[in-house]
Structures are given as C-alpha cells and as structure tokens.
Amino acid sequence: MPEQRFDAVVIGAGPGGYPAAIRLGQLKVKTAIIEREYVGGVCLNVGCIPSKAVIHAAKMYEKMGHADDLGIVLAQKPSLDMKRLQTWKGGVVNKLTGGVRTLLKGNGVEVIDGSAKLEKSGPDGHRITVTGKNGTQTIIAKNIVLATGSRPLEIPGFKVDQNRIIDSTGALALDHVPGRMIVIGGGYIGLELGMVYAKFGTKVTVVEALPRVLASMDKDCVAVVERKLKKMGVEVMANTKAKSWEDKGDRAVLTVELADGKTAQIDADKILLSIGRKPNSENLGLEAAGVAVGKGGFVTVDDKLRTNVPGIYAIGDLVGGMMLAHKATKEGEVVAEVIAGHKAAFDVRTIPAVVFTDPEIASTGLTEDEAKAKGHTSLKVGKFPFAALGRALSVNDTDGFVKVVADGKTGELLGLHIVGNGAGDLISEGALAIEMGAVVDDLRLTIHPHPTLSESIMEAAAASLGEAVHIMNR
C-alpha cells in the first residue's frame, strides 16, 4: 500500500484519542486516527457506558422489588432476562460508537483500522507502520498523539479466561446470573459490578488487600457504601490477599491470606479480577522512536502533553495520574490545540471522580485528611444529610450526605464530597467552584432551586459556617 502523509496522527480512538482527532479536524489540521479494535475504546464499548447501563438496570430492578413502599403494587415479583439486558446494553453502545465515527468523518478525520507501531523517525517525519486486515502500510506524520489507554492488571496464577476468572469486560457480558461471585479488589470497578450482581441475586464476596475498600475516597462517604454492602449481604474481607485458586469442576475455590496470616478458602462460580489497570505502552515501538517511558510503563509528558521526542505527544491512561475518561478527554482537547499552535496547557486545579456504587460517591478537591496534610491547620467542614432534604425524601432515596471542606481562615473551598443519589451529577458545581477559587460563602449565597438535590450543596456550605437552616448547627 502507498505511504500516506498527515499533519497529525492519533493512535487510539478511546475517550482521549477521538476527542483529540475531532478537535484537530476542527482546527483544520490534516488528521488520521488509528484504532486496532473498536472506535470509542474501552470506555464506550466495554467500560464506562455499558457498565452504567447495567448499573441502571440493577438499580431499577432493586427499586421495582420495593415498589409497594410507594403504593405501587405489582401483579408479580419482577424477573430478570439477562439476554434481553445484554441486547439493550449493546444498543446503547452501538448508538454511541456509531456517533463517534460520524463525528470523526464529519470533521475530516480519516479512520484507519489496524495496529500501529512507531518506527525510527526519518527526515520526512515520524513513521508509523499499520497492520490491518488489508495488509501493512506506512504512515508519515508531522505529529503523533499516543492515546492507547490501559488494560486490567492481572495477578500471577489468575489468568483471565472469561470463564472462571473474568475481568470487567467479562462481567459485563454475562448472559446469566452466577450463584456466587468473588470480587478481588475493592476499588470502584469491583464494587460497582459486585453491587450489580448482588442486586441480581448473586452471593458476592469482596476481597481487598488494603484496610478498607475505596481507599482513595473520603472515608465518611465510603462508610455509607459499606453499610449498604452489608445490608445487601455482600461480605467484605479487608486486609485479605488472594493467594491461589483451583477449579473443582463444579466451582472455583479461592485461597486467601487473612490479616493474621492464616488462610481460608472461598467457593465461587466466578472470580472477578479488578485490582487496577496498567498502560498499553508495550509493542508500540516507543523504544525505536526514542520515547521515554517511566515507572510502571507510563509515558512521561509535560503540561503540554509533549514527550521527550519533539512532535510526539501522549495523553490519557498512558501518561498516568487519575485514570479517568474525562481527564483523557480534556488532555485530548489540549493536545490538539498545542499541535495547532494555540496557547494551551493541561492546567487544572481539580479533577472530579465518581464511583457508581449504590449510593454513588463523587469527590473533587481535597478530603479532610489531605487538606490537613497539605498544611491547612484550620478547616471549616459542613455536612448536610439527604435524609433532611425534601427532594430526597420525595423520591424515596435518602442515603448519604454532602460534605464541604474549606480553609478555616480564608473560607476557600478545598473539597466537595457527596455520597447519595445523583452524586455524580451534583459534583461539577464543586469542581467549578474550586477552579474559580470560590469560598464557601459563594455556595451558601447562591440561590439553589427548590425542591432539588442541589440544595444540599448550599446547605452543607451554610453548615460549615454554622448557618444551616434545615439542620441543627454544630
């Protein structure tokens, strides 16, 4: 195949890569994007979107089982058809991935299907070899954006076969409800999917090596989720390490090491491995191109997403930090503007994070412990429970609270942490406030519509100042 030349080539069409390519197209940069598997990446196809679809179905299924609390009497108990659920989930994914292809084409971006590998750069530019269904071709680019994402980590001896040992992709593709599931890893993916199957009727056990699940999130928020896990019958084994497993034919048997050094065995039909992710930096030709790779396989970049090689950039999970789709998207937009010659850099004060457990946890900025560690010796902390909020009561979903963390001397908002219904949709107000350098009075004095969940943010801000109206002030 003849050589093709572009001003910019993006390798990887996930939530970082495809926005970079679209923005490059908008900026009139001749661009191609190379994808080896599926446009939209892990997030749209087997991650963020399908998992949220299944999480929604599980929550709806659980609520239907308690519809009589609201005076809605069903003729019979709701039943679950996993094959139809999978079909619906697939439809959601197809609509979004099809939309991405349309946007790429509409912005003049050429989509090339195949696996890309960097070669040694020549005098005419950076060289890429693409291997696809129609053979091999060479592409020459002035600029390259590496956006190859990440994949689940594995434990030695726990090879994912999507039969006994499954990862998140396998968990989202099950066409039946397993009787027993062990989730190795109490992070956000493990707990999200573990709670889904617990609602569907699976006996779920979570094995976590650290002292508590969701170790990076606000501990008060996590405590609410831990209570819900217990209520659902999910067993959480903290300070516990998975050591080995054996296939007994009719079941898998996991051996774990407990906090006291003793071992125990747990039976399961499925073992879900969810212990984190690693960057897809191998087999990319980084060494041949001279691109520096740091600890853990992450590519080193500066605030303009430039690697050590002029004209080669990297974004998303490949560069580490918070491995979140929205962070990758922002980096993709920034790198496009950098390549187009605009004055741009990845310069953010906060990146919000959401855990789609039930209830949800959303967080932006510093937790109390982090604020103290950073030298904020005086803090103003305000909490407002959803149980005291009219909107939460009226939708019969009152678990959780909003928590405001502010500097005690200046009043500057340092962090906002929410656990409860709609937390993920509420958190952006806090992110905007932190980016703007707002003080808690800004949140307190802003009129929030009634009756809404967002009032809880205003009330928590007021509580941090001892001025809450709808709860007693401490």
Nearest alpha-carbon partner for 389 in 362, 365, 422 = 422
* Token output for 40: 């939209």
Q: Are 450 and 444 in contact (CB under 8 A)?
A: no
What is the distance between the alpha carbons of residues 354 and 374, in angstroms, rounded to a whole number? 23
DSSP β-bridge partners for residue 151 = 278
Please state, in angstroms and rounded to a whole number, the distance separating the CA atoms of residues 220 and 402: 10
Q: DSSP string of 323-378?
A: --HHHHHHHHHHHHHHHTT-------S---EEE-SSS-EEEEE--HHHHHHTT--S
If you write DSSP's letter for every residue of 87-134 in order, what string do you get? Answer: HHHHHHHHHHHHHHHHHHHHTTPEEEESEEEE---BTTBEEEEEEETT
Q: Is 234 helix (H, G, I), strand (E, B) or coil?
A: coil
Helices (H), 383-436: 390-394, 423-435
User: What CA–CA distance (Å, rounded) separates 429 from 355?
Assistant: 17
Question: Among this protein's residues, is 450 annotated catalytic?
Answer: yes
**CA–CA gap between residue 43 and residue 17 (Å, rounded):** 12
Single-letter residue type at 423: A
Cβ–Cβ contacts within 10 Å for residue 409, how many?
A: 11
Q: Please report, in angstroms and rounded to a whole number, the separation of the first and last CA atoms in the chain.
A: 73
Q: Which of 126, 417, 450, 470 is catalytic?
A: 450
Single out the residue of 37, 118, 35 nearest to residue 299, CA to CA. 118
Which DSSP category does 68 fall into? Answer: G
Catalytic (active-site) positions = 450
